[in-house]
Structure 1
């Protein structure tokens, strides 16, 4: 049975070709330790939305990034066509002990509202800062940074694509007051 888009999670972004053997440099988008260890079958989601199943021939750590080789990619030119692609693997169910843990790809695009129901925008990205994660919420040209902490995030409804937050009024720039 084929794996659908909703059944995959993004673990890395292909930054650029590496070397002369068709390898690519990958930036990890996962905070799961050992996520790149023992990779075998992955899906590469291209910038155009096209997906390609790939077999990983090898992975090695290179500082904060990884050097990844695919079986059917043998030249820098072939590797260059993968630039900007997202490496995805089948989604693993989160355990009960991770009740308040979410995949970043589930949060991106989610509508964010305050406890009064006023829409604040959509989650554009998640920053991983040393102390905690921060949600970058955009509404047009307005950008709001919301700490991803229980004090601020009241409810996350993944199926409904909706997040309720509180206590962010001081973080939101009111353009009407200027």
Structure 2
């Protein structure tokens, strides 16, 4: 049974640390309540397989919503997910969810062999291919081109490294270490 006029399910929400950020609602789409979402996954498949998403400013404040429709749209920003949620059926309701993060329960997400969660990268040590320590992963920033690995460096500005195999050849989550192959000027 749904809670009245909220689009939310009456199921218990998972704990905040079990939610994974999968996208960001940047604005409504049209007048029927669709949401334009910038996905953080490489494909929209993650959205298509979900019955429930959680929307909020932070995981601990995210509220569950039943997913009733998912479609994609290619834009100059890259792939956009057009997400429809139960009882979010007009532009006003969609505007109330704009600028919020979309989360999914980690247990509800199925990953391919080569996919991983951003939260699994956070805090990993980063070293160069010669073994020189660089810093720790602070985030993986989604961009229209390749995503960018944000590396915190003690006493220096963060380094931004494009998430491409040529520059990030090795990710060893078991060891908590990522190896980068920096080109001249990348870390300056």
TM-score range, shorter chain: 0.5 to 0.7
**What is the match of residue 40 of structure 2?**
29
Normalised by the length of structure 2, the TM-score is 0.65
SS in 1 for 2:48: coil
| Distance (Å, rounded) in 2 between the aligned partners of 1:39 and 1:46 | 20
Equivalent position to 1:137, from 112, 128, 151: 151
Alpha carbons 2:48, 2:70 under 8 Å: kept: yes
Q: Is there any run of 5+ residues in structure 2 with no aligned partner, and where?
A: 1-11
Moved over 6 A (4+): none
SS in 1 for 2:120: helix
Closer, same or farther in 2 for the Cα pair 1:155/1:15, shift >3 Å? closer
SS in 2 for 1:141: strand
| Distance (Å, rounded) in 2 between the aligned partners of 1:134 and 1:44 | 24
Alpha carbons 2:138, 2:151 under 8 Å: kept: yes
Q: Is there any run of 5+ residues in structure 1 with no aligned partner, and where?
A: 174-178
Number of equivalences: 167
| Distance (Å, rounded) in 2 between the aligned partners of 1:70 and 1:128 | 25
Normalised by the length of structure 1, the TM-score is 0.67
Equivalent position to 1:39, from 23, 31, 50: 50
SS in 1 for 2:93: helix
| Distance (Å, rounded) in 2 between the aligned partners of 1:112 and 1:105 | 15
Residue 14 of structure 1 deviates from its aligned partner by 0.8
Residue 135 of structure 1 deviates from its aligned partner by 2.2
Closer, same or farther in 2 for the Cα pair 1:65/1:167, shift >3 Å? closer
SS in 1 for 2:119: helix
Does 1:51 pair with 2:62? yes
Closer, same or farther in 2 for the Cα pair 1:15/1:75, shift >3 Å? same
Closer, same or farther in 2 for the Cα pair 1:33/1:88, shift >3 Å? same
What is the Cα-based RMSD across aligned positions, in Å?
A: 3.5
